[in-house]
Structure 1
Amino acid sequence: MSNTQTKSLCLDGLSDREILEYRLEWENYTEIMMKSDGNCQFRALADQLYQNSDCHELVRQEIVKQLKTHPKIYKGFVDHMDFSQYVKNMSTNSQWGDEVTLRVAADVYQVKIILITEREEREEGEEGEEEQKSPLSLF
């Protein structure tokens, strides 16, 4: 039995919250609560990048700037609405971030972002980039 299967078996019967807490403890992470104001993804990124969640507006501005500057790169990731409307929405304070904004943040800040949830870990950012900084872990 592989190590991954052993971990999965240990999580049977646990609530989503218990699974998340187990995964955080397993990976030796500490949870930092963010304000629930629609900016939580940007706050979490700002906390990891600048050690200050109040820098969320700067992070949002950089992500929106990247979207506007490189629409050909990101347009294909936005299939649920018109791309220009998506960029306009993301420019708005309290607009929730999504998978696209995580991808853009990884590109802008040249980092690998590890998203830890009660399900599998997901990573955003290019594999094998030599100049990447330490990964950012969000949960």
Structure 2
Amino acid sequence: MTVRKAQHHVEICPANDFRYVIFLKMVYLACFMMLLFLIASMIGMEGRYSIKTRWTPTGNAEHSENFYKVDNIAQAGIDKSQEVASSSDSYPTDLTSSPSTSHELRVPTPSNVKTLRTLANIRIITHEPPPASATIKPLKYLPGYSTTEHYIKKDGNCLFRTFAHFKYEDQEKHIQVRQEMIQYIEANPFEFQDFVEGEDPEPEIRLKKYLYKMKNGAWGDELSIKALSEAYELNVVVVSVSDRSMYAQLHVGNKGTTGFRGAYLQNDHYELLFQA
């Protein structure tokens, strides 16, 4: 230690104060570098553009979702769904087709493969509408699957029209389907109120506002699918497609059966989905 003389007294000061400050700074810097390393490792393992979510609500309905965004977007054109569904983490890279129609989209290859794997494990048993009333078109990027085109009317009730076809094989009963969904939610509020988003802190109030909107013609959503799947005891798969992603959602409303009704969502509009 050092002795420092003042005018009227003597101070004894540790000589290593400065070294102690330097040591603390080095420790803080090392901790910060370790934190950066951990973050970089996490990004490297999952991928910058990879998002994976899974949500399983209470009750009998199950919902699973796989959503991917990647840098290199490949066009549709997988030759055999069986080969793709059984493939490992290596994805085909030479996928080409001319996007001449609304169904021929630029879909990320990883999400394409993931969706095919999900669909390969289920059996779609959607009732086909009368041939004279609907056009059924194959999906080139989902080999072995097809969808109706301009069959479900675009009037803001397309989800309820789709379930009206599932339940009654008549999409014009969509008003009845909407009412039955509302009644089911009102009879089972605790199964749904925690899933309703909103600014109100009380889930009961959020659910009340949600039902008010549904009674006044709001579009159906995932909560509607959950409610209708349970109310009708139906298994439903929804394939959602945009220009940069594709994923499949499974809603299990009846564990006693293996068949699924199929819905196809594109551009905020639902159509029927079929399996060859």
* Fold similarity call, TM over 0.5: yes
Q: 2:207 aligns with which of 80, 83, 99?
A: 83
Give 1:77 shift. Answer: 1.2
Residues 1-139 of structure 1 aligned to structure 2 (within 5 Å) = 3-4=84-85, 6=91, 10=95, 17-19=103-105, 21-23=139-141, 26-32=143-149, 33-80=151-198, 82-93=206-217, 95-118=218-241, 119-126=246-253, 129-130=255-256, 132=257, 134-139=259-264
Aligned identity (percent) is: 20
The one-letter code of the counterpart of 1:3 is V
- CA shift for structure 1 position 6: 4.8
Distance 1:66 1:7, change over 3 A: farther
Query: How many angstroms does 1:36 deviate by?
Result: 1.2
Whole-angstrom distance in 2 between the partners of 1:114 and 1:52: 19
Distance 1:10 1:34, change over 3 A: same
Unpaired segments ≥5 residues, structure 2? 1-82, 108-138, 200-205, 265-276
Give TM-score scaled by structure 1 length.
0.79
Of Structure 1 and Structure 2, which has the larger fraction of its residues in helix? 1
What amino acid is aligned across from residue 31 of structure 1 in structure 2?
T
1:58 Cα offset (Å): 1.2
SS across alignment from 2:223: helix
Across the aligned residues of Structure 1 and Structure 2, the Cα RMSD in angstroms comes to: 2.9
Shift of 1:8: 8.3
Larger Rg: 2
Q: Report the secondary structure of 1:120's partner residue.
A: strand
Are the structure 2 counterparts of residues 124 and 8 from structure 1 closer, same or farther at C-alpha, using a change threshold of 3 Å? Answer: farther
| TM-score, L = length of structure 2 | 0.43
Contact 1:110 1:133 in 2 (8 A): no
Q: In the comparison of the two structures, how many residue pairs are matched? A: 134
Distance in 2, matches of 1:16 and 1:7, equals 23
1:111 and 1:133 in contact (8 A); partners too: no
- For residues 249 and 194 of structure 2, the distance between their equivalents in structure 1, rounded to whole angstroms, comes to 20
Deviations, residues 92-124 of structure 1 (Å, cap 9, x unaligned): 23x200000000011001111100122111111
